Amino acid sequence: MKAAVFHGVEEPLQIEDVEEPTAEEDQIIVETEACGICRSDWHAWKGDWSWIGVMPTDGLVFGHEPAGTVVEVGDNVERFREGDQVTVPFNLSDGTCHHCRNGRGNICEQVVPLGFLKMAPGAFAERFPVRKADHNAIKLPENVDPVDVAALGCRFATAFHGLAHRVDINPGDWVAVHGLGGVGLSAVHIAEALGANVIGIDIIDEKLDKAEELGADETLNANDVKDVPQAVKQFTESSRGVDISVDALGVAETCQNSVNSLGKGGQHLQIGLTTSEEGGNVSLPVDNIVMDER
């Protein structure tokens, strides 16, 4: 079968013939119908994340935002049949650890990131395997477009989990989203659905326009202002600052702008992951965080 294969940092992926996957006892094989391109794929391709143990090796097949159809089912799989349309999360968990048993399989002790290890080749291929399929795969409703749901298990689920489960949003709160890529635009959409007043911040006008389509009440081109946090605060009553601020990009500037956009008692949500420039560490105004109970 054909796949887009990684052969080195910043080298173009090569379309090649690779070995056809066959289902182990707990696996299903999914024929890819659509797959998003995630910034995490870009991070790996750039050679980022060695500081957290992610070191892509020659021959990897990326791709972890798929939707597709089950074409083979392992002997021990109970929930799926050939012909089922499914999606899967980025992090394939084992279903047995403490976190999995408490509904947090995304931080499983034995997590396997789809497309980042040889044992879990990704969906930039005609077909790909899903381990622990009964636990990880999700059957899709009938008559949905694979393109519409391909990113559900990564960018959208990430933004939803962050906003719905990790911070406290109340209707009428002000939420700023710094960085309007896939996960940032998902965050805008979800925050609006949760009743928030949403501010979208980016440097590309097309992304700002898309944020407005998805429910942003205000948008800000960061290139047009000298002080992004101060400009964000101007949208809020008495310039008090936002209640929730999301860094959906992960560079030092957006992380710091997000924290500094908060009002007293505000909550910062870190979704974006860093590049080699930050190397996993960003300096923050700790004293202000403490004194303002951010």
Model confidence pLDDT, tens digit, residues 73-93 = 999 999 999 999 999 999 999
What 8-state DSSP symbol labels residue 21? P
pLDDT tens digit sequence for 234-258: 999 999 999 999 999 999 999 999 9
The residue among 203, 186, 184, 153 whose CA lies nearest residue 250 is 184
DSSP H or E segment with residue 138? strand 138-139
Structure confidence at residue 152 as a pLDDT band (50, 70, 90): confident
pLDDT tens digit sequence for 209-235: 999 999 999 999 999 999 999 999 999
Helix crossing, 205-213 with 182-193: angle to 10°?
30
**pLDDT confidence of residue 49:** 87
β-strand 197-202 against 218-221: which pairing, if any?
parallel
DSSP SS3 for 59: coil
Structure confidence at residue 151 as a pLDDT band (50, 70, 90): confident
**CA-only gyration radius of the chain, Å:** 20
pLDDT tens digit sequence for 154-198: 999 999 999 999 999 999 999 999 999 999 999 999 999 999 999
DSSP state letters, 219-287: EEEGGG-S-HHHHHHTTSGGG--EEEEEE-S-SHHHHHHHHHTEEEEEEEEE-----TTTTT-----HH
- Whether 267 has a pLDDT exceeding 90, the answer reads yes
**pLDDT confidence of residue 27:** 98
Mean pLDDT across 111-136: 96
pLDDT tens digit sequence for 47-65: 998 888 888 899 999 999 9
